[in-house]
Amino acid sequence: MNGVRPKGETPGVSCGRTPSASPAAAGPAAAPAAELGLAPAEAEVVFADAATFARAMRDANAQARYVRLAAAAAAGAVPADLVPALETMLELLFEKGRPSNRAVLQTVFSKTPRGRQQSAAAREVNAALRALRGQTLEDLRLTAGPNQHTLVIETDRCRLTLELDSTGARVGSLETG
């Protein structure tokens, strides 16, 4: 079975698992936030973007939170209680805004709990895709749903379901046999 293991034996992928059972698919509460240290270049970029973001806030509490985030970034470390605000700001900048330095901000995001979860999910998807090497592709289907797409890859020996949404890609299931 070139590249495919029996059900339940694929490293990092459990066959028949639903996304909610995946550690990588768990919500932001799965990994508690800790203080996030910033390199000088990261601190400079996060400070500038957080200050701009704060000025755009109409709600005084939200504005104060992002002013605090900007000040913390300038000092080189984002306290645990502001990490969720940093994650939200970065996600909004990547999705709808104009980040001042995408590469630096992507590096910062990768240090956050959400960023680490997305990286873990991508590693899991890549492991599942590697399991398909050497197999004959029989069917490929993409379906669209509200805020999510599902990609089904069927080979002569297995069926892999990937779920794709704004938070990344996850293995929905891997069935062999």
The Cα 71–Cα 78 span in angstroms is 9
CA atoms within 13 A on the CB side of 90: 28
**DSSP strand pairing (148-155 vs 158-165):** antiparallel
Helix or strand (DSSP H, E) at 158: strand 158-165
Global pTM? 0.69
What are the pLDDT tens digits along the chain (177 aa)?
A: 333 333 343 444 433 333 333 434 444 444 556 899 999 999 999 999 999 999 999 999 999 999 999 999 999 999 999 999 999 999 999 988 888 999 999 999 999 999 999 999 999 999 999 989 999 999 999 999 888 999 999 999 999 999 998 888 999 998 887
- Based on C-alpha coordinates, what's the Rg of the chain? 20
**DSSP strand pairing (158-165 vs 168-176):** antiparallel
